[in-house]
Amino acid sequence: MVDLRGTGRTTRQLETAPQGAVFVWHHWSLHYPQALAAKLGRPDIKIVSLEYVERGMLAGLTMPALVVDHFAWQTANTNQLHALRHAEVYAEFPRNLSGGWVAVP
């Protein structure tokens, strides 16, 4: 079973993400953030991996906000960082909540 501690930065990011946001997780396995979002009552959030973004899968998708997991910045390679910056173009409010271009860094 997944440990759903319900504390920490990821929890705050998911809680404060705008309705319908895309949340970029640092790992290809999405089980933990999906379970956490469900626990928080946030089925509206689309959770994707860095690899998903790197493959250009967000291209053309209009999204209310792009929220990048705080740990993704430490694990992303150069191509993934470039893809995240490119994906920012598709977010209606990429500079929400934190003053940066992601929610709650």
pLDDT in tens, 25-75: 999 999 999 999 999 999 999 999 999 988 988 877 778 888 889 888 888
Q: What is the pTM of this model?
A: 0.78
Adjacent-strand bridge partners of 68: 24
- Average pLDDT, integer, range 78-88: 82
Contacts of 7 by beta carbon, 8 Å cutoff, 6+ apart: none
Distance separating alpha carbons of residues 36 and 34, to the nearest angstrom: 5
pLDDT in tens, 3-28: 555 458 899 999 999 899 999 999 99
Q: Where are the domains of the chain?
A: 9-90
Residue with tokens 């910056």: 85
Contacts of 47 by beta carbon, 8 Å cutoff, 6+ apart: 22, 23, 25, 30, 33, 34, 37
Choice between 102 and 13, residue whose per-residue pLDDT is larger: 13
